[in-house]
Amino acid sequence: MMTTTNATAEVFLTAFRAMSKKERNAVIDKLLADNEFMEDLIDISIIKQRKDEPSRSLDDYLADRQKE
Break the chain into its structural domains and give their ranges. 4-67
* CA 63 – CA 56 distance, rounded (Å): 11
Q: What pLDDT is attached to residue 2? A: 85
Q: List, for residues 8-17, the tens digit of each pLDDT value.
A: 999 999 999 9
pLDDT digits (tens, 9 = 90+) for 15-53: 999 999 999 999 999 999 999 999 999 999 999 999 999
pTM, full prediction: 0.61
Cα–Cα dist 68/52, whole Å: 26
* Structure confidence at residue 1 (pLDDT): 81
pLDDT at residue 39 in the model: 96
